[in-house]
Structure 1
Amino acid sequence: MLPFTALAAPTESRESLEWKQGESLPYLQFLPEGYDKDTKEPYPLVIFLHGAGERGTNLDLLKKHGPPMIAMKGHGLPFILAAPQCPAGRWWNPDEIIALTKHLAKILPVDAKRIHLTGISMGGFGTWACLAKEPDLYASGVPICGGGDPTQAKRIKDIPIWTFHGNKDQAVPVAKTEEMEKAILEAGGKKLLVTYYPEEGHESWIPAYADPALLAWMMVQHKK
């Protein structure tokens, strides 16, 4: 059971950001029940990065997994959710995700101390990369079955991160998460949580997002 089922389903819209000349980033946006653009209590923001299979120009593909799927099943979410879509034939560019994050924080009533980033597979790699590129922007990161750059561990060691991986993943080896865990711990990180699923393959995001503790944990993380 997810922790937010008492809320109504969020309001969906399709948006696009021109983040630099000639480069646009389409995204799905979900606003929570009772959304008030003039609220005195700003909302948390969650950015979701999809995997390689959802690249292209069809935003409906983004509803297959993760928080967008939860939203489409009628579960209320107490945060603003944005799910951008990566063009076909390439990987996530951290600059575009950071640009989208800052754009949403500027045009919507977003709590700058509670901006969260999560992603699966290719989006897991994107999550690690964005955290390393701009570590002061995000209150938490949840990379699932992805991998990062261990040499950047000192930059991200103080960010609350909960990472997940299936031990039987044949698409992205579990060693990718293990090496990030090792590097962050050796850098002195004390805010890292790691969940390994002994019997899971690549789709470790299914049990991860189904665990009510995950979104609940994300919602209590905030920057000082």
Structure 2
Amino acid sequence: MNKTSIYLLLFVLILNALGAGLLQAQDKSLFKNQVFLNKKGDSLLYRILYPPNYDRGKEYPLVLFLHGAGERGHDNEKQLTHGADLFLDQENREKFPSIVVFPQCPEDKYWIDVSIRKELFGKGDPNFSQSIEQPSEQLDLVNELMQKLFKAEKVDKDRLYIMGLSMGGFGTFETLGRWPKKYAAAVAICGGGNLSLAKKYAPHTAIWITHGGKDDIVPPILSKRVYEVLKEEGAEVKYTLYPEANHNSWDPTFAEPELLPWLFSKHH
């Protein structure tokens, strides 16, 4: 075989390897299709990704991911639009073996109470400090799902993490406020939160907040306010503003090389 043939063969092999890796990263069927049903008969669609070579003799971190309003539905698929590829990446799966859960909120529901949403967008308290007594029905269901997974799967309860974008960013802050000692770390993307709840989780959760400087859907000030309160409370928190990003600040967030190393380094 001459040199040209050898180079051609190597080129083909490299392309095949790259293509296989790309296909694997895009194979969302690795997220198993599931339905959670609680004792009252309420249901929650979710997808779950298990670590490679899942060993039930070990415990794994668990990542809960809350999607945005655009991914609501009843197909148990749209919620994987943003964020799933980050956890399907083969290198990330090998470096950070974990259980990853993407629940789906129905089209007519929200992760946070609708009356709180009105507060956020200027129809009430501009500081978003009013607290609703109970979490939303959907967040309650998500929490019940987590409790079920703690019993059914091999979960390291000292390494529970939550991430969310847009509506899911609000849901992330709200979840931390309702169950303040549960999650070791959180990533809240282009969201906002109830300031009166922030002090509850400030001592317990490391938080990375990100937002786009040109966001015309959710004003950056809504997450900046949470950051400032958490900072005052002595929380382990950092805030990253992407000056040129609009509402899609999840793109630069997911591209952060330190995002997953930071997340998976945290524990209670």
Structure 2 length-normalised TM: 0.75
Number of the residue aligned with 2:128: none
Structure 2 alignment gaps of length 5 or more? 1-20, 112-137
Residues of 1 paired with 2:48 and 2:249: CA distance? 24
Of Structure 1 and Structure 2, which has the larger fraction of its residues in strand?
1
Number of the residue aligned with 1:128: 173
What's the C-alpha RMSD, in Å, of the aligned pairs?
1.8
The structure with higher relative contact order (CA 8 Å, sep 6+) is 1
Aligned residue type for 1:128: F
The answer to whether residue 201 in structure 2 is matched with residue 156 in structure 1 is yes
The answer to whether residue 242 in structure 2 is matched with residue 197 in structure 1 is yes
Residues of 2 paired with 1:177 and 1:26: CA distance? 28
Number of the residue aligned with 1:172: 218
Contact 2:80-2:102 at 8 Å conserved across structures: no
Number of the residue aligned with 2:99: 80
The answer to whether residue 110 in structure 2 is matched with residue 91 in structure 1 is yes
Structure 1 length-normalised TM: 0.89
Listed as ranges, the matches of 1:3-22 within 5 Å are 11-22=30-41
Residues of 1 paired with 2:85 and 2:54: CA distance? 20
- Give the greater-gyration-radius structure (CA): 2
- Name the % identity: 38
Of Structure 1 and Structure 2, which has the larger fraction of its residues in helix?
2
> Shift in Å at residue 20 of structure 1?
4.5
Number of the residue aligned with 1:105: 150
4+ residue stretches of structure 1 with deviation over 2 A? 8-12, 69-77
**What count of residue pairs does the alignment treat as equivalent?**
213
Deviations 1:14-37 (A, max 9, x none): 111113413111100101111122
Aligned residue type for 1:164: T
Partner secondary structure for residue 38 of structure 2:
strand
Structure 1 residues 13 and 75: alpha-carbon distance in aligned structure 2, compared to 1, 3 A threshold: farther
Partner secondary structure for residue 157 of structure 2:
strand
Aligned residue type for 1:185: K
Deviations 1:52-108 (A, max 9, x none): 011011122122111x12245555521100100001111013212211222111110
Deviations 1:138-181 (A, max 9, x none): 11111100110011121011210111001110100001011101
Residues of 2 paired with 1:156 and 1:185: CA distance? 12
Residues of 2 paired with 1:117 and 1:75: CA distance? 21
Structure 1 alignment gaps of length 5 or more? none
Residues of 2 paired with 1:197 and 1:120: CA distance? 15
Contact 2:46-2:101 at 8 Å conserved across structures: yes
